[in-house]
Amino acid sequence: MSIALITGSCGLVGSESSIYFSKKGFDVLGIDNNARKFFFGKDGDITWIKKKLKNDLKNYHHFNLDIRNYASLEKIFKKYRKKISVIIHCAAQPSHDWAKNKAFIDFEINARGTLNLLELTKIYCPDSPFIFMSTNKVYGDNPNALPLIEKKTRWEIKNNHLFNEGIDESMSLDNCTHSFFGTSKVYADLIVQEYGKNVGLKTACFRAGCITGPNHSGAKLHGFLSYLVKISIKSKKYTLIGYKGKQVRDNIHSYDLVNCFWEFYRKPKYGKVYNTGGGRYSNCSIIEALNMVENTVGIKIKKTILKNNRVGDHIWYVSNMKKFRKDYPNWKQKYSTKKIISELIDQFTS
C-alpha cells in the first residue's frame, strides 16, 4: 500500500493533489480542518470539496486535524510510518491582509506547522519525498525594484533584462518588505530546505505565483483569479487595489502544478527550490483578466481602482521555470490564462 499524506487536502492544490494521486493508485490521507472558513468566512468554506473527495474517491481518508498540533499529527505518522510514500504539504494561512492582524496564528500555522511535519517525516518515513507548497512572496517586494515600463493595460519589464523570461531563483529574499504572511512562509521555505540539505530528507519548495482552478474557494483576501471571475460575473463590478490595476501575475492551473509534484515524486532530490508559475505562457494583469471576462461573457464590469497598494504586493511577477524544466524535462504545461479563465467562467455560469 502506497500512501500520499496531503495537508490542506480540501484547498485548491491539496484537493487537486488528492484526486491526482488517488487516480495513480495511492491511498490518500487528507488533513484539513477547514481553517479557510475561519480565515475568510463562507467564501472560504471548503466543506463542498471535502464532500466531493469523500464521495468520489474510495481511497480518500479525511482527518479533521490542525497541523499546529504535533501530538495529533504524530498519531497518523506513527500508525502508517514507512507506508507513507509522499508528503504534500499545502496547508497554510495564505493571506497578506489576514496575517497582519493575526501574526501569531499566521506564524504558528505556516512556520510551526511545517516544522512539525518535517520532524515527523524525519522520524517515521525519512525516505519519503516531502513536497512543500511555498510562494513567490518569499521574495518580498524585491521584484518591485526591477526596471518596469507602464503600458496601456499592464506593467512590463525591459526586453533586455535578465528576468525578461521571468524571475528565477537567484532573486534575493533579503533587504525588502515581505508582509507577515511572506515572512512566515520564508521560515517554512528555509526550514524545508534545511531538512533536505542538513538532515537528508528529499525535499522541494515550489515557490508558486498565482495558482487557480475550479476547486478554488476564492475569497476577497485570497484566490485572485477565482474570486475575480466569481465576483465580476455576479455583481458586474470589481475593486482593483493599487498600481492602476495593471499589476501582472502569472497563473498556473492546479493540475499543471500537481504534475510538477508528480515529476518530483518520481525523481526526488534534496533541498531543492523551484520557482513555479504560468511564466510567459500564462500571465495577465488584473485589468486584462477583467477584460477577458467581459469579452467572454458579454458584460460590462464597473472597475474601481484604489490608489494605495497592499504591503509587499508585486507590481510585476512572472515565474521562470527553466530550473525545474531542466531537472524534469517531461513536464508539460497544459493551461494558459485564457483557458483557465474560460474554465472558471463555465464553473460560475453553469
Assess whether pLDDT exceeds 90 at residue 44. Answer: no
pLDDT tens digit string along 172-227?
999 999 989 999 999 999 999 999 999 999 999 999 988 988 766 555 545 578 88
- What is the pTM for the complete model shown? 0.93
Instruction: Tell me the pLDDT tens digit for each residue of 284-334.
Output: 999 999 999 999 999 999 999 999 988 768 999 999 999 999 999 999 999
Number of H helices, E strands in the chain: 13, 15
Q: What is the CATH number of the domain that holds 195?
A: 3.40.50.720
* Total of domains in the chain: 1
Query: Is the pLDDT confidence value at 241 over 60?
Result: yes
Helices (H), the chain: 12-23, 35-40, 47-56, 70-80, 96-101, 103-107, 113-124, 180-194, 224-235, 254-266, 286-297, 322-327, 337-349
Q: Are 29 and 3 in contact (CB under 8 A)?
A: yes
Q: Per-residue pLDDT for 239 more than 60?
A: yes
Percent of the chain with pLDDT over 90: 84
- Tell me: the pLDDT tens digits for 71-87? 999 999 999 999 999 99
Q: Quick one: pLDDT at residue 221?
A: 46
Is the per-residue pLDDT at 27 higher than 90? yes
pLDDT at 4 over 70: yes
Predicted pLDDT at 219: 54
* Cβ neighbour number for residue 41 with a 10 Å cutoff: 12
Residues 152-159: what's their mean pLDDT?
A: 96
Averaged pLDDT of the chain:
94
Calpha distance 118→112 (Å, rounded): 10
Q: Say if residues 143 and 156 touch (Cβ distance below 8 Å).
A: no
The domain of 161 spans 3-349
pLDDT at 156 over 60: yes
Asked which of 52-66, 119-133, 305-319 is least confident by mean pLDDT, the reply is 305-319
What integer is the mean pLDDT of 256-268?
Answer: 98
Closest Cα to residue 272, out of 195, 174, 212? 195
Beta partners for residue 7, in sequence order: 31, 89
Distance in angstroms (rounded) separating the CA atoms of residues 333 and 281: 9
Which H/E stretch holds residue 150? strand 148-150
What pLDDT, on the 0 to 100 scale, is given for residue 223? 53
d(CA 118, CA 191) in angstroms, rounded, equals 8
pLDDT of residue 213: 81
The secondary structure of 214-234 as a DSSP string is TT---BTTB-HHHHHHHHHHH
Contact 261, 131 (CB under 8 A): yes
Query: In this structure, what DSSP letter does residue 306 have?
Result: E
